[in-house]
A and B are shown apart, each in its own frame.
Chain A
Amino acid sequence: MNMKCSFKKIKWLLFLSISICCVWGYGQESNFKISPYFNGLAILKEPFLEIGPEFEKDNLIIRTLIRLSVADKKNSIALIDKNTASWTSILEAELKKDLTKETGPIKSFNLGLRLEWGIEKFTYYPAGNSENKVETWKNAFAFEVKGVWYQMQGKSFDPQWAPQFKIRYGRIWKKSDETGIVIPTTDGSPYIVNNMIIDPPVTSPVLTFAFALPYYPGENKYSFCPALYYNFIGEKNSNTPFRNSGRLRLETWTFFYPTNPANFRIGVAPYISFRTHGTDDADGFL
């Protein structure tokens, strides 16, 4: 792989993103106990709902979930029936270990592994008219490994660190863009343009490396988190992510923790994103 990074080609994207994120997370999660080692889990992350059982014993958690699109967004209802056009199955394992004792440093770690496999129906009209409809089902899959480490020395004013990483490979299908089909008229009236999808769905494999370093200095109400992401994006409909383009992104988060409400923070993140090689669809001001 030959990575060329020309500063003349770098498009400086300075974007101030203000995120008001409750430390509960940006989704809604409901966890209820079924038996001593089994819980029921429902996680709503619009526009998807993930539901399924969770096994938890000692330091190990295993989840088998199914992800559905939210059919009724107003009431957050997802459904699966013969008309369901897409769903994804998820197998997730998490190892949590807390190493903290009655005295000494406070430290813990999490390691997670996640496998996703899904199926989705796509419809397109290669002839440019609604009579010639083609329906096709495509498989998508993704694989993810992540880890978090937390540490502080266990004294007032000691800094707190939580380095974390994630590696994800995904090959997800998406529908092609619509094309305007001109429909001529015979009575002299203006032509009609009908927007239709005429190309089959496409996929590009993406391999992402992410690393973040949350840091609290031990005083004041601010914490900081630089985060680095690198995406390898492969050619369309291929399996390898290394032969098309690469994108590097650096985010510099600063969080403020108000006194009230409890467990609430506000974050601001100037970021820069630039292609290192090839072309992708993410150019432009984001």
Chain B
Amino acid sequence: MGNGGRNFKVGLKSIEGTINLFYAFINGKKIISGTGLEPQQWSGELPEGETRLKVRVTGIDEAKYTLTVELPGTANNKQFTFSLKGGYHEYEMQL
């Protein structure tokens, strides 16, 4: 991922309904690809400069999941709760 020096941890977890698949990308590179049956997470260092995080989630109807973003020593931890729409949701943010 590069020597950016910013530690980073992202987590995805199903909380309501049925989630089939979790995906997460950092600047287009896939870091999470896994089943929604269990929590998925990734930790590592972010590259220098602007970093884009994108998650894509598939499941059934309006299932819900949480996205947790941790930047130790850089920013406060953030947790988001999202609901799928028509079995799909995606979210993008700058880190």
Residues on A facing B (Cβ under 8 Å): 23-24, 98, 100-102, 106, 108, 150, 152, 154-158, 160, 216, 218-221, 223, 257-260, 262-265
The count of residues in chain B whose C-beta lies closer than 8 Å to any C-beta of chain A is: 28
Distance in angstroms between the alpha carbons of A260 and B14 in the assembled complex = 11
B72 located at the interface, meaning its Cβ lies under 8 Å from any Cβ of chain A in the complex: no
Instruction: Please state if B36 and A263 are interface contacts (CB–CB under 8 Å).
Output: yes
Point out the residue from A98, A100, A158, A263 that lies within 8 Å of B18, measured CB to CB: A263
Q: How long is the Cα–Cα vector from A220 to B56 in the complex, in angstroms?
A: 20
Query: With a CB–CB cut-off of 8 A, which chain A residues contact B9?
Result: none
Q: Which of the residues A23, A154, A258 comes within 8 Å of B37, measured between beta carbons?
A: A23
With A102-B28, A220-B61, A263-B36 already in contact, the answer to whether A154 and B88 are too (CB < 8 A) is yes
Question: Contact: B18 with A218, CB < 8 Å?
Answer: no
A157 proximity list for chain B (CB < 8 A):
85-88
Contact residue among B15, B30, B61, B63 (Cβ-Cβ distance under 8 Å from A100): B30
CB-defined contacts of A24 to chain B, threshold 8 Å: 37
Q: Mark B48-80, 1 if CB is under 8 A from A, else 0.
A: 000000101010110100000000000000000
Residue of A whose beta carbon sits closest to that of B52: A102
B16 is an interface residue with CB less than 8 A from chain A: yes
Within 8 Å CB of B46, what residues of A? Answer: none
B17 touches A155 (CB 8 A): no
Nearest A residue to B57 via CB reads: A106
B23: contacting residue among A106, A155, A158, A260, CB under 8 A: A106
Q: A265 CA to B36 CA in the complex, in Å?
A: 14
Would you give the 0/1 interface string for B29-40, flagging 1 where the beta carbon is closer than 8 Å to chain A?
010010011000
Any A CB within 8 A of the CB of B12:
no
Main secondary structure of the interface of B (DSSP, over half): strand
Task: Check B18 against A23 for contact (C-beta < 8 Å).
Answer: yes
Known: A101-B30, A108-B21, A260-B16. 7 other contacts (CB 8 A): A106-B21, A150-B20, A152-B58, A156-B86, A218-B87, A219-B86, A223-B60
Give A260 to B90 CA distance when docked, in angstroms: 22
B90: chain A residues within 8 A (beta carbon): 154
**Nearest CB of chain A from residue B89's CB, rounded to whole Å:** 7
Q: Are B86 and A262 in contact (CB under 8 A)?
A: no
Interchain CA distance A98-B56 in the complex, whole Å: 13
- Among the listed A102, A160, A258, which residue makes an inter-chain contact with B87, where contact means beta carbons less than 8 Å apart? A160
Q: Is B10 close to A, CB under 8 A?
A: no
**Interface contact A154-B56, CB-CB below 8 Å:** yes
B83 to chain A, nearest CB (A): 11
Q: What residues on A are CB-neighbors of B8 within 8 Å? A: none
Expressed in whole angstroms, the Cα–Cα distance for A100 and B21 within the complex equals: 11
